[in-house]
Amino acid sequence: MNAPKSLAASILLVASATMAHDVTVDATCTPQVTRLEARLVEKAAEGPAALRNFIFIRRGIYALDMRETADRVRDIEAARAACMITASASQILDASAKVARN
């Protein structure tokens, strides 16, 4: 395989491997994602047409697929929502513990 094809194959492998990892969130419930994934979430928030156009333009560069991208965005948003629920539940428990002590 020649060098340009080898480089392209490496880039595509890295792009698809990037989208395969689990989503982690930090203490502020901000998902720890790549810059590309953050852009995909932004475009998804703008609506399906914006996401579709974004993917169409970059499909050759990042080997993006609409279904895989939608699943990844859903995973990212689900992780953030779960963190928010956990954080609010712990705040409620802390508040009720303070009330019970008084």
CA distance linking residue 66 with residue 59, whole number of Å: 9
Residue 49 has pLDDT above 90, yes or no: yes
Residue with tokens 């989503």: 23
**Residue 4 pLDDT > 60, yes or no?**
no
The tally of domains found in the chain comes to: 1
- Residue 34, Ramachandran bin (φ over 0: left; ψ between -120 and 50: alpha; else beta): beta
Q: Helices then strands (H, E): number in the chain?
A: 4, 2
Mean pLDDT of the chain: 79
Name the residue range of residue 46's domain. 3-101
